[in-house]
Structure 1
């Protein structure tokens, strides 16, 4: 059914449920997992003599965090015997990076987590999952 499944991660606990679901589906369908995390770009507009962190330190931290986020997916895929690739990209708008990556790599399904916010909270806070659902032409499975 699906041969490539994209699983974006922000490293949160709720994402772990989406990872478990995606890995189980991949194993069942004989699919490959594409794990993706989106790193924040450095805000060069905020640089001053009082900058709390240098661009190189910021990038090193972002790279370390990305590796940590992706490591749990690598472990889950390895334990299940599911082929996988991992990618970290830098983007201001994570939902756009997720959709672009899915299209560029030929993914057929995006599996994401939702925090389950409703009402005014969901409207005000928004979510990357909601944005992906709104803008993606690919199917999106939301795990809660």
Structure 2
């Protein structure tokens, strides 16, 4: 049924749990795993202190290092389960858009991702990348909490 499962991660604890659940599900159905992480673009004017203090090159290098670390967790879980795994790093200010685009571009037939469970005003103000993926994706999404 599912042949290629996209598992995006931001490196958070809830994402780590979703990685394990997604890899286990992929193992059960015999699917390939595609790991994805998204880092923001560099902006000269920003409220992000890393962007203010770094040059574009330093910011990009730090983003690459963080992405490698996040993707290593997905790769390690997939290897442990004996599954093929492809790793992707996208640079985009809208993680949900990068997730949806990667799922379509790579021919994924399921996205497994975490929900941070923000509710009320905090959820409204911060938004939810998971919610945005659910709204914009044509690929089915399995949300892990």
Give TM-score scaled by structure 2 length.
0.92
**Offset from partner CA, 1:20-55 (integer Å, 9 cap, x none):** 111111111110000000111111346xxxx52111
Query: What secondary structure is seen at the aligned counterpart in 1 of 2:125?
Result: helix
Give the equivalent residue in structure 2 for 1:30. Answer: 30
Q: Which residue of 2 aligns with 1:39?
A: 39
TM-score (norm 1): 0.93
Partner Cα separation in structure 1 for residue 77 and residue 16 of structure 2:
10
* Partner in structure 2 of residue 122 of structure 1: 123
Q: Which ranges of structure 2 fall in alignment gaps of 5 or more residues?
A: 47-51
Aligned to 1:111: 112
- DSSP-derived class of the 1:44 partner: coil
Q: Which has the larger radius of gyration?
A: 1
1:40-76 Cα shifts (integer Å, max 9, x gaps): 1111346xxxx52111111110000000110111110
Matched residues in 2 for 1:76 and 1:21: separation?
A: 10
Distance, in Å, in 2 between the alignment partners of 1:113 and 1:99 is: 15
Q: Show the counterpart of 2:49.
A: none
Q: Which whole-Å CA distance do the structure 2 matches of 1:52 and 1:5 have between them?
A: 37
**Paired position in structure 1 for 2:16:** 16
SS in structure 1 opposite 2:87? strand
Superposed CA RMSD: 1.1
**How many residue pairs were aligned?**
140
